[in-house]
Amino acid sequence: MSKHVVILGGGIGGLATAYNLRRMDKNLRITVVSGRPYFGFTPSWPHLALGWRKFEDISIP
């Protein structure tokens, strides 16, 4: 039986945990539950507001 980890929260902590778990065990089934269909890197949002970056530059699905 394969292991399944469910991570509640798709913020910086949830995604970092998912990436680290994936690196540790390629066979692990990982589900990230988030209220958004994307992750936006919050510290870069001022760059978005100033037009220095596009949304696609600071987010991942």
Q: What is the pLDDT of residue 22?
A: 96
Q: What is the pLDDT of residue 23?
A: 97
- Cα separation, 49 vs 17, in Å, equals 28
Q: What is the pLDDT of residue 1?
A: 73
User: Which amino acid belongs to residue 8?
Assistant: L
H or E, element range at 45: helix 45-49
Q: What is the pLDDT of residue 2?
A: 85
Q: What is the pLDDT of residue 31?
A: 96
Q: How many domains, in total, are found in the chain?
A: 1
The predicted-structure confidence for 2-61, as pLDDT tens digits, reads as follows 899 999 999 889 999 999 999 999 999 999 999 998 888 888 999 999 999 999 999 888
Domain housing 16: 4-60
